[in-house]
Amino acid sequence: MTTPQERTSRRIAVLVAAEGIEQVELTDPWKALTEAGWEPVLVSPESGSVQAFNHLEAADTFPVDQTVADADVRDFAGLLLPGGVANPDALRLDAPAVALARSFVEQDRPVAAICHAIWVLVEADVLSGRRVTSFPSLQTDVRNAGGTWVDEEVVRDGRLVTSRKPDDIPAFTAAFLEVLGADDHA
């Protein structure tokens, strides 16, 4: 468990690949975190900018704040994993990105994953015995990774928060903020 004395900041790592991020799954939680006094930090395997999408249509680009190579889990209060199909599919092939995500779970820090982002946690091998949700097409992947998949708007298993799709974002961000707030006031 992270104690307030161990927390170095109110920074939240937002881990994404170079492209394929579902824009609303990045921007809506980002806005909610910022409004609640947290500092989202866009972390990606490469520096520069990342390309978000509105489903299959290219949308906005966003500047990378920090590379995975320069990211240290101890510098963050939690981890947000936005979905999209291509984004987590690329991340799960990047060993340092997977290791970073694994470190957040292993250190019992708050982690939130929406939609296809569960793939990063499947690859990190951290779902065994966990109750989670995701986009429905990934339920077999979750079960094969030892997790229990359920079809619910938001699922909280300890400090792990998961949701299925963009429609779930309000419940998803509320649950993540609740976990972060509980840790912040511990």
Query: Which residues are known to be catalytic?
Result: 115-116
Rounded-to-integer distance, Cα 51 and Cα 62, Å: 7
- How many C-beta neighbours within 10 Å does residue 55 have? 11
Rounded to 10 deg, the angle between the 23-35 and 169-184 helix axes is 40
Rounded-to-integer distance, Cα 157 and Cα 137, Å: 20
Pair type for strands 39-44 and 111-114? unpaired
Residue 107's H or E segment, with its range, is: none
Tokens of 101: 């995500």
